[in-house]
Each structure stands twice: as structure tokens, then as C-alpha cells.
Amino acid sequence: MAGMNEVKHRIASTKSTRQITEAMEMVQTVKLNQIQGQTETYNTYVSKIKSVVMHLAQSHMLDNHKPSRNKADNSKGKTAYLVITSDRGMVGSYNSSVLRGTNRFIEQHTPNQDDYVIMAVGGTGADFYKKNGANIAYEYRGVSDIPTFNEVKGIVKAVSQMYNDGVFTELYVCYNHFVNRVKSDYRAEKLLPMDRESIEQSMNGAEGAGSDVKTKVLSAEYEVEPSEEEVLNAILPQYAESLVYGAILDAKTAEHSSSSMAMKAATDNADDLISSLELKYNRARQAAITTEITEITGGQEALNH
């Protein structure tokens, strides 16, 4: 009887957990649908600004562009990695995929820990690299479930300031790209410095993500007013903001998808466990009833004799 009560308690506890995971799956699915709607609107804007920057790059306007630096370069050629993770758990393999991909990328490009700094967007990444003794130059926690453009402007401003101050000489954005509801791919895209090569690499990487920007050779020349530098100084910051915002939006989409899938898997596992426990309980109950009947029958036969 004690064993049956224990199984009955486990069934009730598992059903309670299942209700929680099912509710969380529904919440994450709603968030995923919302952010996908926002991504579609954003893609219209970003495809236009990427097209403009790509044309400027291919017309060689960026060849002689030198961004202003506030101070003498004291970075000694350091590379910065802007790593986008979540602030919470229960997101499946999302965080481990980003961190594993970033660590592999860092090992290939800057194996010496003194040669790079980490810029963490998301508490999981910040905590991980702090624990492993990495140089954390910047961290941002609490990105909204549906990020706004204004949130990203603050991040871009901080990144640009450190770049201008010579904290690092190049920057990669590392995140998970949302492919579909069951798949995401790791990406590491070069953001700074903004030269023709890095922009073309970014464009080529974006083609698979729904962008209509294509790499082709252009021979067109432009008449620019008031000057090339002023035009570039106006457009390139918008381009940088669009890349960072796009990466965060993309990463959050992958996060919600991974969380939804993780909660679905947890719910399915709970269903399987409940079925198994109910079968075990029914068998134990049937065995107990059979034993009672046997005992009653045996007692009746003893009385008759």
C-alpha cells in the first residue's frame, strides 16, 4: 500500500509539472510568433540600408574612409567578441550552442587570451566568461523578449565608444541564427572596422537569412553632397545599428524557438512518465485486489472446514 501511495504521489507531481511546461510552451510560442512578425517588418528596412551600403562599398567609397578615433590606439590589435546569449535557463541547447561555437571561433582566430575581450549581451554568456577568467569589457543584461531598436542603440553607442577609445581594433558579433522552429545555426559576423571586405562578408552571410542583397560588381560612380565623409558618417552608424539589432532580434527568435521546443519535449516526457506510472499503479492496484480476493477466498474455505 505504501508503494501505491508513493506512485500515486509521483503521478500527481508529474501532472503538476506537465501543466507548468505546457503553459510555458504556449507562452514561448506566442513570443516566437510576435518576434517573427517584428522581424518581417525589420527585414524590409535592413534590406534597404544594406543595399545602399553595399553599393557604396562596391563603388569604392569606403576604400579611403578612416573612422575618427578619439584617442591613440592602445588596443595592441585586440579583437572583441560580442556574444549574445539569454539571461535565463530552460532554453534547451541554445546557450551551449552559442558558447561552444564562440569558443571554437576564438580558438581559431585569437587563441591567446590576452589578445581578445568579451562583450556579453545576456547574463549566461557574461557569467560563463567571468567564471573562465576572460576579459569582460562590456556586459548588458535584461534584453526584452521582443527587443526594441532603442535598446540596441545604447549597446551600439557603448561598442562604438570603446572602439574609438582603442579598447579593440576589430569586433565580431556571435549569435545563433534562427533558421526554422526546429533548427538554428551559429554565426560570427565581423562588424568593425567597416571596410569593403567586412561588409561584403556580412552581405554574403546574410543572403541565407532572407536578405535580398546580392554581391555583384558595380562600376557606377556617385556624385556626393555635401561630401563622401559626411555621407558615410551618417549611413555607417545606421548600418552598424541595423547589424547589431538584427543579430539580437535573430538571436532572440532562436532563443524563443529553442525554449518552446524544450518545453514541448519536457511536456512529452511528462506524458510518457505519467503513462508509465499509471500503468505501474494500475498493476499494483490489480495485484493488491487479487491478493485481497485470494485472502478472502482462503479464509472462507478455512471456515467451511
pLDDT tens for 82-124 read 999 998 888 888 889 999 999 999 999 888 888 899 999 999 9
Q: Is 66 exposed, middle or buried (0-12, 13-18, 19+ CB in 10 A)?
A: exposed
Band of residue 65 on the pLDDT scale cut at 50, 70, 90: low
Average pLDDT rounded to a whole number, residues 198-203: 63
Spell 31-56 as b/e; 16+ CB within 10 A means b: bbeebeeebeebbeebeebbeebbeb
- Within the chain, which residue ranges are assigned CATH 1.10.287.80? 2-26+266-304
- Residue 87, beta-bridge partner list: none
pLDDT the model gives residue 297: 72
What element of type H or E holds 260?
helix 228-304
37-46, 165-174, 199-208, 247-256 — which is least confidently predicted?
Answer: 199-208
Q: Is 144 helix (H, G, I), strand (E, B) or coil?
A: coil
Band of residue 214 on the pLDDT scale cut at 50, 70, 90: very low
Nearest to 259 by CA among 26, 30, 92: 92
pLDDT the model gives residue 106: 93
- Within the chain, which residue ranges are assigned CATH 3.40.1380.10? 28-212+222-259
Other C-beta atoms closer than 10 Å to the C-beta of 69 total 12
Average pLDDT rounded to a whole number, residues 69-90: 76
Nearest to 119 by CA among 206, 244, 241, 205: 244
pLDDT the model gives residue 232: 72
> What whole-number distance in Å separates Cα of residue 20 and Cα of residue 262?
13
Sign of the alpha-carbon dihedral angle for 237, 147, 130, 179: negative
59-68, 105-114, 262-271 — which is least confidently predicted?
Answer: 59-68
Look at residue 217 and tell me whether its pLDDT is greater than 50.
no
Beta strands in the chain (DSSP E): 79-84, 116-121, 136-140, 170-180, 183-192
Band of residue 193 on the pLDDT scale cut at 50, 70, 90: confident
pLDDT the model gives residue 213: 42
> What whole-number distance in Å separates Cα of residue 50 and Cα of residue 167?
27
Cell matching residue 104: 571554437
Sheet hosting strand 170-180, strand order edge to edge: 136-140, 116-121, 79-84, 170-180, 183-192
pTM of the entire structure? 0.76
**In terms of CATH architecture, what is 2-26+266-304?**
Orthogonal Bundle (1.10)
Other C-beta atoms closer than 10 Å to the C-beta of 101 total 18
pLDDT the model gives residue 283: 82
Rounded to whole angstroms, the maximal C-alpha distance in the chain is 118
Range 28-212+222-259 has CATH code 3.40.50.360: no
> What whole-number distance in Å separates Cα of residue 93 and Cα of residue 255?
9
Which residue is listed with cell 522552429?
181
140-191 tens-digit pLDDT: 998 888 888 888 888 888 888 888 888 888 899 999 988 888 888 898 988 8
4-8, 42-46, 260-264 — which is least confidently predicted?
Answer: 42-46
pLDDT the model gives residue 111: 86
